Structure 1
Amino acid sequence: MITPVILCGGSGTRLWPLSRKSFPKQFVPLIEGKSLLQLTLQRVCPLGAQLMVVASESHRFMVSDALQGLPVGTQAILEPVSRNTAAAMALAALQATDNGEPDALLLFCPADQHIPDTEAFVRAVREGVPAAEGGAIVTFGIVPSFPSTAYGYIRHGARRPDGAQQVERFIEKPQAEAAQALLLGGGVLWNAGIFLCRASVLLQAMERHAPDILAAGRKSLPAPPSAMTPPAPGAAPQWITPTAPEFAACRSQSIDYAVMEHHDNVAVVPYPGAWSDVGSWNAVADLSTADADGNRVQGQGLHHQARNTYIHAPHRPVVALGTQDLLIVDTPDALLVAHKDCVEQVKDIVARLQDQQCAEALTHRKVARPWGWYDSIDLGERFQVKRIGVKPGASLSLQMHHHRAEHWVVVKGTAEVTRGKETFLLSENQSTYIPVGELHRLHNPGRMELEMIEVQSGSYLGEDDIVRFEDTYGRATAPRAAPPETPARAALAR
């Protein structure tokens, strides 16, 4: 039995402005309303009854949403900081050992790749099982279709007795002429970053080639009282959180540099099917069907006398007139217009925006929260307007604000409001007012999403002006027994 391990820690800066640090590309619904993470989970489920996800702690609730309804048991390891694939894979192998399965076959898959043919993918993985059971680290190489400069390459040698091919060496992303020479010479595959091996084999390889990374991972994982039992299929995910100081001390390096380029027993299985790492806007554009002039449109894009133009416009009409070789990506708070030959430089622009402390470099206007989401639709001096969505049965924390008052208007669903010592229901088109300093909570008691408009007013409107007293998600910042004495609370007490 194979245990898939989904590596979900990427930042996806090359797909800005759609992908951002707080909402990276693996969570973005890019293909038929589904995210790459959801599609990856669906693709690996036929391989076993258990799977693991290694993700950022800050993305816990987006991972939780993606894991809902899977027919397998799931464990999720939440990294307090990002330390690249070598550390993430070490954590998964160590956790498999803690589960009492040191020889479990682990299939490491990035969460942000698109592989539409699930049956072909599963066949390729199973072709690699004999080599992995025999002690090799098996990687899966994509049969190249053009001389790409965006991917690393794997040079393979003779076929092994276990059916795989021996890896001779890994080749870094080449220049255009070198990439063409590699394809003409034959014997190379694109490096997809997918690996299959026993947990014990990976740990032994890391002990040999990257002992410091392994030691940091081992120190950071909480010691189980005995062999852990992964959840049963369909049960709630089991969350595992490495300790922050120990894991932060770990060196950040990819598994290719840390282990694969030095290890002597690495095999490769070719995968001839469709594959994309969705690593640039050109790759995203290629997921759409082009018209006779090479134009591709998603959403409300319009073009006239245009050639080889891609338009991503889900929210409003975007018109391209007489354009050629352009990519146009529109979001509610940022717009990207790029020549198709320059898309790899998007990450450099994101770095510049971060240096300028531009919030749009990191977060969307619409922000995911464990209880739902909020969308900042207007902001001015001393006021802010938000749309808020709350999942069925979910609650915001019991909280108060020092500097702002809030007006709430329900536009869909039913809201249960706690305000001071009273609790009451609001239906559609009803409203309430939360004074500055008042203890309050919002809860959705219904079976449909609650949506409301919130108007904030006050001298400071930052998200850090929240004092939490009770919180379902472990974010409380003040003791429940000692809420602050404010004019509003004093009036209620009287």
Structure 2
Amino acid sequence: MKPVIICGGVGTKMWPLSRVSHPKHFLPIFDGKSLFQINYEVLLKKFKPEDIYIQTTEVQAKTVFEQEPQIPRGNCFIEPELRNTGPSLGFMALKLSQLDPDEPFFLVQSDDLRDPPEKFLEMIDQCDKLVRRDGRMITGGFRPDYGVMGVDYMIAGEKAENTGGVDIYKIAKFVWRSTDADADSYVKQETVFLHANHCSWTPRALLTAYQKFAPAWFASLEKIRVFLENDDEARIREVYSTMEKGPAENVTQHVFPDSYVVSLPFKWVDFGTWESFFKYRKEHGQYLPGDNILEIETKNCFVQKRDKNFVALVGVEDLFVIDTDDALLICKNNQSGKVGDIVTALKEKEKKEYL
């Protein structure tokens, strides 16, 4: 089994702290450690450094090695440029196939936490055994408490495995980007799971799926394969830049109906927004206003600021105040999902210095 930590995104919904040059998974905001470091060190409890791989970008590769210098240089797969998860996942499979096309891999998103980590490592073990035995893709999911529009759901069929407290089901139906009505109806079903990544398969099987369901991407990947063998980085970049941007679900949604979903045996915390980050800090007793933060008659507010600045809040509630050297965000808690729209607007206005 080869775990691959995915850390190529930017985390636009956690702007202005998360930027292109220092995205959220590299920020040392968990007792001085980053999400990337925490996830890498969890994997080190089971795997040797030479068996852990990183998928990242050219801009972020330097930080990868600064935060975890024991990572072998050859274990860092650097995407030629950002083309969304479809080309990215295919590129990763291509790189892994050069090592061993039939050795299972396991994708680990760098901006998530899994608690307790021991259960996470046990799940990787079970996925490894099942991929080798049945050859099917496995992905993760959890039972949602309420319907969420715009996310992916999986309707589970019969149970395929129950070993070591890990329940794995056959997927009877995959629903991509649910509507409001869909989401509410699915949550009422006992066997529905909200898709939560944690994909496991083999490089050969994944590339075969690209060949069948995304032939244009596959054709480009086959060209890149030749240039990888010759270490022709210029031609690799040239071909990769022509690949149409698109999500990996353009491929995987066709594979899921013949795949497995594992019910995550741990608490999965996805730090997608400031709201999720604040909620986690409060639940774990990690948020107390510092000496240079004053709150008078406030309720449910969160301040993230520079050490030198003094911030005072009076008579407000349900606010996020995020202060950095060059930008200030003030946002209602329940609107934090729209912070990414600021980044979109900054791009349109060509304000690159704030990205």
TM-score range, shorter chain: 0.7 to 0.9
* Unpaired runs of at least 5, structure 2: none
Could you say which residue in structure 2 is the equivalent of 1:67?
Answer: 68
1:298–1:96: structure 2 CA closer, same or farther, 3 Å change rule? farther
- After superposition, where does 1:154-303 map in structure 2 within 5 Å? 154-160=154-160, 164-174=168-178, 178-221=182-225, 222-224=227-229, 243-289=236-282, 297=289, 300-303=292-295
In 2, are the aligned partners of 1:165 and 1:269 still within 8 Å (CA)?
yes
In 1, are the aligned partners of 2:150 and 2:179 still within 8 Å (CA)?
no
- After superposition, where does 1:464-483 map in structure 2 within 5 Å? none
Give the structure-1-normalised TM-score.
0.64
Could you say which residue in structure 2 is the equivalent of 1:4?
Answer: 3
Cα distance, 1:81 vs. partner?
1.0
Could you say which residue in structure 1 is the equivalent of 2:80?
Answer: 80
Partner Cα distance (1:275, 1:37) in 2: 15
Could you say which residue in structure 2 is the equivalent of 1:102?
Answer: 101
Partner Cα distance (1:303, 1:145) in 2: 33
Amino acid at match of 2:213: H
Partner Cα distance (1:143, 1:216) in 2: 38
Partner Cα distance (1:290, 1:323) in 2: 21
In 2, are the aligned partners of 1:309 and 1:324 still within 8 Å (CA)?
yes
Partner Cα distance (1:346, 1:77) in 2: 29
Among all aligned residue pairs of Structure 1 and Structure 2, give the percentage whose two residues are the same amino acid.
23
Partner Cα distance (1:35, 1:241) in 2: 32
Partner Cα distance (1:54, 1:165) in 2: 28
Which shifted more, 176-185 or 343-352? 176-185
Q: Which has the larger radius of gyration?
A: 1
Amino acid at match of 2:67: A
Counting strand residues as a fraction of each chain, which structure ranks higher?
1
Could you say which residue in structure 1 is the equivalent of 2:17?
Answer: 18
Amino acid at match of 1:224: E
Counting helix residues as a fraction of each chain, which structure ranks higher?
2
DSSP-derived class of the 2:220 partner: helix
In 2, are the aligned partners of 1:79 and 1:242 still within 8 Å (CA)?
no
DSSP-derived class of the 1:102 partner: coil
Partner Cα distance (1:354, 1:90) in 2: 27
In 1, are the aligned partners of 2:142 and 2:196 still within 8 Å (CA)?
yes
Cα distance, 1:178 vs. partner?
4.6
Give the structure-2-normalised TM-score.
0.87
Could you say which residue in structure 2 is the equivalent of 1:44?
Answer: 43
In 2, are the aligned partners of 1:53 and 1:74 still within 8 Å (CA)?
no
Cα distance, 1:180 vs. partner?
3.9
Higher relative contact order, structure no. (Cα contacts within 8 Å, ≥ 6 residues apart) = 2
Cα distance, 1:324 vs. partner?
1.1
In 2, are the aligned partners of 1:205 and 1:263 still within 8 Å (CA)?
no
Cα distance, 1:161 vs. partner?
5.7
DSSP-derived class of the 2:198 partner: strand
1:216–1:183: structure 2 CA closer, same or farther, 3 Å change rule? same
In 1, are the aligned partners of 2:149 and 2:180 still within 8 Å (CA)?
yes
The ranges of structure 1 where at least 4 consecutive aligned residues each deviate by more than 6 angstroms after the TM superposition are: none
Partner Cα distance (1:89, 1:299) in 2: 45
1:56 equivalent to 2:57? Answer yes
In 2, are the aligned partners of 1:313 and 1:330 still within 8 Å (CA)?
yes
In 1, are the aligned partners of 2:2 and 2:52 still within 8 Å (CA)?
yes
